[in-house]
Amino acid sequence: MTKPEIIAFDRNARLEPWEDFPEGEIVSGTSKQNGLVLFEDKARGLSAGVWEQGANESRWIDYPVNEFMTVLEGEVVIVEEDRTVSIKAGESFIIPKGLRCRWTQPGHVKKFFVIHDDASGLRNQGPLRTIKIDPAAALEPSAAPPPEMLISGRPVQHTHQCFADATGQLDIGLWDTTAYHRKLIDFPRHELMCLLEGTVEFEDDQGRKRRFKAGDTFFVPMGTPNSWKCDGYLKKIFVIFQPKG
């Protein structure tokens, strides 16, 4: 059986026409959309990829999924019952499932996305808000990999949690590390990584290497064989899905 591989996200990937949004969901503007799913775990309701749409404004909705997004082009304005949040190109944000809001965009928008279509029936703890990720947020010390997993000395690492969903499977935040080299493992979770600083090199069980640098976004599916090597400081946004059961 073929093992999964790391998936590089390309903002210029060729997108395909998707089914139009239902007319009843759109107040004004276009209901047409294009997208490309780059990763999907249907059994767990997880998908990730690229999406675009022209200017439009939605009706009030209870947001139906947990979704992480990085805006690549344009501006998204989320209208909540008591405030408005603007997210522009280069910024990342999270909409928790159940948030009462309206999605508006004054022009064309393109984004990377990770969606968890949670069918558990559990509710996210409130109050629910659009969460705009601040790359400069303060980080707290976190546990480094155990010595038996390391080829190098132990790094110093920190994290900041921005969101955890009701199921305890989806975890989104910031993480940094000093230089280290980890042994080859089969990756134990699904994870999207958006590198903010530094570079990292992965090597799979066939000796093939992949290198990513600040500004790159990529997805590591659960079960992907890889080692990790970064020669200096690295910081990233992470979107982790750790299945339970």
Compute the distance between CA of residue 84 and CA of residue 142 in angstroms, rounded to an integer.
Answer: 33
Compute the distance between CA of residue 131 and CA of residue 159 in angstroms, rounded to an integer.
Answer: 17
Compute the distance between CA of residue 142 and CA of residue 116 in angstroms, rounded to an integer.
Answer: 25
- pLDDT at residue 126 in the model: 86
Direct distance between the N- and C-terminal alpha carbons of the chain, in angstroms, rounded to an integer: 22
The C-alpha angle 236, 185, 187, rounded to 5 degrees, equals 50
Cis peptide before 127 (omega within 30 of 0): yes
* Fold agreement (7-132, 140-241): yes
- pLDDT at residue 23 in the model: 82
- pLDDT at residue 162 in the model: 98
pLDDT (tens place) for every residue of the chain, 245 residues total: 789 999 999 999 999 999 999 888 999 999 999 999 999 999 999 999 999 999 999 999 999 999 999 999 999 999 999 999 999 999 999 999 999 999 999 999 999 999 999 999 999 998 999 999 999 999 999 999 999 999 999 999 999 999 999 999 999 999 999 999 999 999 999 999 999 999 999 999 999 999 999 999 999 999 999 999 999 999 999 999 999 86
- pLDDT at residue 10 in the model: 98
Handedness of CA 34, 40, 42, 45 (dihedral sign): negative
Give the residue extent of every domain in the chain: 7-132, 140-241
Question: Which amino acid would we find at residue 54?
Answer: G
Name the superfamily (CATH) of residues 7-132: Jelly Rolls (2.60.120.10)
Domain with residues 140-241, CATH architecture: Sandwich (2.60)
Compute the distance between CA of residue 136 and CA of residue 238 in angstroms, rounded to an integer.
Answer: 14
Q: Which helix (H) or strand (E) holds 220?
A: strand 217-220
pTM: 0.97
